[in-house]
Structure 1
Amino acid sequence: MGAGLLPPAGPARRLAAAQLTNALGDGAFLVCSALYFSRVVGLTAPQIGFGLTLGWAVGAFAGVPLGHLADRRGPRGVAALLAVATAGSVGLFLTARAYAVFLAAAVLYACAQSGLAAARQALLAGLVPPARRTEVRAHLQSTVNAGLAVGAALGGVALRFDTTAGYLAVLGVDALSFLVSAVLLARLPAVAPAPAAAAGEPRLAVLRDRPYALVSLVNAVLLLYMPLLSLILPLWIAGRTAAPGWTAAALLMLNTLSVVLFQVRVARRVDGLATAVRYVRYAGLALAAGCGGFALSASDGGAWAAAGVLLASTGLQVVGEMLLASGAWEIGFGLAPADRQGQYQGFFGSGVAVARTIGPLLLTTLVLGWGPPGWLVLGAVFALAGAAMGPAV
């Protein structure tokens, strides 16, 4: 990987290596998990959907207490332990042949992932000066996307052969990747634990911080873009457009490569809350424009015209995604107390779990049920949320 992808040598680069390692396993797991659960474990689609929704719903609440634990015990050790717990949850998926075991694994997986994200953010905040956190976070995002892309290609090999052994191998690699990540995290410099809350102060102060809760809510609304490429657009392309079947894969590739190549460049221009707010406002407009393009893709203009509109709209969507990420990282770090980054990052990051929990149901109803008008409503929501971030901050 080039110097533009990885952060400068030091703790930040080692943190990137830890995230790259588990991203490789995660990419393969994400591609193969649905077929593994259905063909090997023997679950129905509603059972899989309910289990994953339950897991991420619980995980949305787990980030704050686990982030608080990272503050109090030190984020390095807690991050390493949660990486091991994630590996354990994948191992539980490997042995799941009963629905109750699958549900337990889904809950453990989502909770460990949510807590791990909060602990890693706290670790980043402790190892990197405030002025460089957003740029380093962008390096990490680019690294993760590159790892996911390579992992997805490995998962594609398992899909090609479609055997139980192949699927089991993919899950084994994912579990191993988190164990290796745990070792890399444990070798990072230690960050001193935060002091205990003073008498009369709440331990989970973020739960009483209403302004921060509002900022986190606005961010969660904007994160509803997350299920678009993986779930909504493939179904939209197949059912509502004349675009070729390969278009969905092309859109995902365009998104992934764009983030890998340009996320760091976009984030480098964020130098404070004022810039971050402006970026989030622009992100809302770009996401809204992308939604407008997706609505147009249903027009009767032929296969290539539909594919072209979808590619252009995905370009707008990924611009919005990168602008939002850069602005949100600065806001999430900048408004959190220095000694409580773990619990605050856990709360701010819960927007990801919320988007994964309610996004698929909400967007399938809105977009696939309403058609082009649903895209326009979603675009208006993105534009309004982007404009609301300024007053919220």
Structure 2
Amino acid sequence: MMPRAGAPRVLTVAQLSNSVGDGAYYTCSALYFTQVVGLSPARLGAGLTVAWAVGSLAGVPLGHLADRRGPRGTAVLLALATAVAVASFLVIRSYAPFLIAVCLYATAQSGLAAARQALLAGLVAPAERTGVLAHLQAALNAGLAVGAALGGLALAHGSRGGYLAVFAVDALSFVVCAALTLRLPAVAPVARPVDDGPALAVLRDRPYALVTLLNAVLLLRMPLLSLAVPLWIVRRVPQLTWLASALFVLNTLGVALFQVRTARSVTGLRSAARAVRVAGAVLLASCAVFALSAADLPLWATATVLVAASVLLLIGEMKQSAGSWQIGFDLAPDDRMGQYQGFFATSVAAARTLGPLLLTTTVVSWGVPGWLLLGAVFLTAGHAMGPAVRWARRDRPYALPEPGAAGPRAAATG
């Protein structure tokens, strides 16, 4: 799970640190705010939706700040801001402070993701970035699994003190993340030329916006195992309710073990677009197999079908992740890496915000036709990524060609 020594390993350990805290937080936060603080599920859901909407809007300007002020210092400040937001949950007892705190949390998290991507781009050679990101994703999933186990202990204990201990661990994990980030070499801020166009140029970059939109569509796979599949199982085969958590664990461990290996085949824009196209087809197959579980099968056969669909979902997820990382980096100019990564990350926020409503409507309410429709959407988005990448690459002389292929940069330096 660990990359080579140096900046890639420090970045991975920092990711592992805060993902352990986040795993515990995600496991316990909903029950804490509803059962201990006393918020209704509807108000909790509305607050989180507002918070992630605010966070997605803040990603671009905070990424721009990382470009102009330096990504390392910006990442450290945002990691500490996240720690403060989580620590504030220890004393929150009403809705208004909760809303302020979760908005700060989502904003700091979105900005931290953009600043960390810009920092990685400044410290890691372009040819290594996707591989390093694969290690980061593996560490993320391993940390979430460990954190979820810690959160499970708090849930089993069932006391307010147990919940507060989880928040304290999460806050501390971001302090550790900030300390580790300070160990990295500083990346010099990029000075903006006087005649270099608008400050937030990414907002006028239509090809990059299209690529980001297609990525958001493919990321609708994110709430499948955490929301849609458990609801589907409860409705169709309540005897297998226990399997929902097992499928989530299978996915988490699968990414931790195989994401790095899967990313090795992605070396440039062409192979990245191909990986996303394959991901769309595999996600369609996964949806079709999930739909098959609605058939009147023996219980063991239904469980087998659900496991097979989850394995296909895992493969599609890892392919899509590796391809999208390469695309997001290679199409972003070096002097605006932070704001472009902040914009590309809005696809994650969009999937988190809109995904639950869209998936519960299509999959849970419509059943088999909904699964097939969702699969067709994945297939279409995956195939559309190739033409979108080619459109975006036409006016980008800085976009790296596939290794061994001629391209604008190769021609310029040859």
Query: Does residue 364 in structure 1 map to residue 365 in structure 2?
Result: no
Q: Which amino acid aligns with 1:78?
A: T
SS in 2 for 1:198: coil
**Structure 2 residue aligned with 1:213, among 209, 225, 244?**
209
- How far did 1:199 drift? 2.9
Q: Distance in 1 between matches of 2:50 and 2:232?
A: 25
SS in 1 for 2:286: helix
Aligned to 2:65: 69
Q: Distance in 2 between matches of 1:216 and 1:50?
A: 25
- How far did 1:339 drift? 1.0
Aligned to 2:376: 380
SS in 1 for 2:17: helix
Aligned to 1:164: 160
Q: Distance in 1 between matches of 2:77 and 2:350?
A: 24
Task: Flag structure 1 segments of 5+ consecutive residues without an equivalent.
Answer: none
- How far did 1:142 drift? 0.4
Query: Does residue 305 in structure 1 map to residue 313 in structure 2?
Result: no
Q: Distance in 1 between matches of 2:38 and 2:213?
A: 37
Q: Which moved more, 1:197-206 or 1:137-146?
A: 197-206
Equivalent residues in 2 for 1:4-23 (5 A)?
A: 5-23=1-19
- How far did 1:198 drift? 2.5
Q: Which amino acid aligns with 1:211?
A: P
Query: Does residue 345 in structure 1 map to residue 374 in structure 2?
Result: no
The superposition leaves residues 307-358 of structure 1 with CA deviations (integer Å, 9 ceiling, x where unpaired) of 1111000000010000000000000000000111100000011111111111
Q: Distance in 2 between matches of 1:147 and 1:190?
A: 26
Q: Distance in 1 between matches of 2:84 and 2:350?
A: 23
CA contact (8 A) 1:242 1:302 kept: no
Aligned to 2:178: 182
Q: Distance in 2 between matches of 1:286 and 1:96?
A: 44
Aligned to 1:105: 101
Q: Distance in 1 between matches of 2:34 and 2:260?
A: 38
Q: Distance in 2 between matches of 1:243 and 1:311?
A: 15
CA contact (8 A) 1:243 1:304 kept: no
Aligned to 1:144: 140
Aligned to 1:278: 274
CA contact (8 A) 1:242 1:306 kept: no
- How far did 1:20 drift? 0.6
Q: Distance in 2 between matches of 1:35 and 1:28?
A: 12
Aligned to 2:191: 195
Aligned to 2:399: none
Q: Which amino acid aligns with 1:29?
A: Y
Equivalent residues in 2 for 1:257-336 (5 A)?
A: 257-336=253-332
Q: Which moved more, 1:194-203 or 1:51-60?
A: 194-203
CA contact (8 A) 1:242 1:298 kept: no
- How far did 1:241 drift? 2.6
CA contact (8 A) 1:267 1:326 kept: yes
Q: Distance in 2 between matches of 1:53 and 1:353?
A: 10
SS in 1 for 2:5: coil
Q: Which amino acid aligns with 2:135?
A: H
SS in 2 for 1:94: coil
The superposition leaves residues 66-122 of structure 1 with CA deviations (integer Å, 9 ceiling, x where unpaired) of 000000010000001000111111112222111001111111111111110000100
SS in 1 for 2:187: coil
Q: Which moved more, 1:200-209 or 1:116-125?
A: 200-209
C-alpha spacing 1:109/1:268, structure 2 compared with 1 (3 Å) = same
SS in 2 for 1:95: coil
Q: Distance in 2 between matches of 1:225 and 1:291?
A: 10
Query: Does residue 135 in structure 1 map to residue 151 in structure 2?
Result: no
Q: Distance in 2 between matches of 1:175 and 1:123?
A: 22
The superposition leaves residues 226-249 of structure 1 with CA deviations (integer Å, 9 ceiling, x where unpaired) of 111111111111112355221011
Q: Distance in 1 between matches of 2:212 and 2:94?
A: 37
Q: Distance in 1 between matches of 2:152 and 2:255?
A: 21
Between the two proteins, the alignment pairs up a number of residues equal to 389
C-alpha spacing 1:211/1:59, structure 2 compared with 1 (3 Å) = same
Q: Which amino acid aligns with 1:319?
A: I
SS in 1 for 2:211: helix
**Structure 2 residue aligned with 1:40, among 36, 39, 43?**
36
Q: Distance in 2 between matches of 1:157 and 1:197?
A: 54
Q: Distance in 2 between matches of 1:24 and 1:92?
A: 19
Task: Flag structure 2 segments of 5+ consecutive residues without an equivalent.
Answer: 390-414
Aligned to 2:406: none
Aligned to 1:229: 225
CA contact (8 A) 1:28 1:170 kept: yes
Q: Distance in 2 between matches of 1:58 and 1:372?
A: 34
SS in 1 for 2:89: helix
- How far did 1:371 drift? 1.0
Aligned to 1:120: 116
Ranges of 4+ aligned residues in structure 1 off by more than 4 Å: none
Q: Distance in 1 between matches of 2:170 and 2:72?
A: 21
Q: Which amino acid aligns with 1:293?
A: V
**Structure 2 residue aligned with 1:95, among 91, 110, 122?**
91
Q: Distance in 2 between matches of 1:117 and 1:46?
A: 28
TM-score normalised by length of structure 1: 0.98
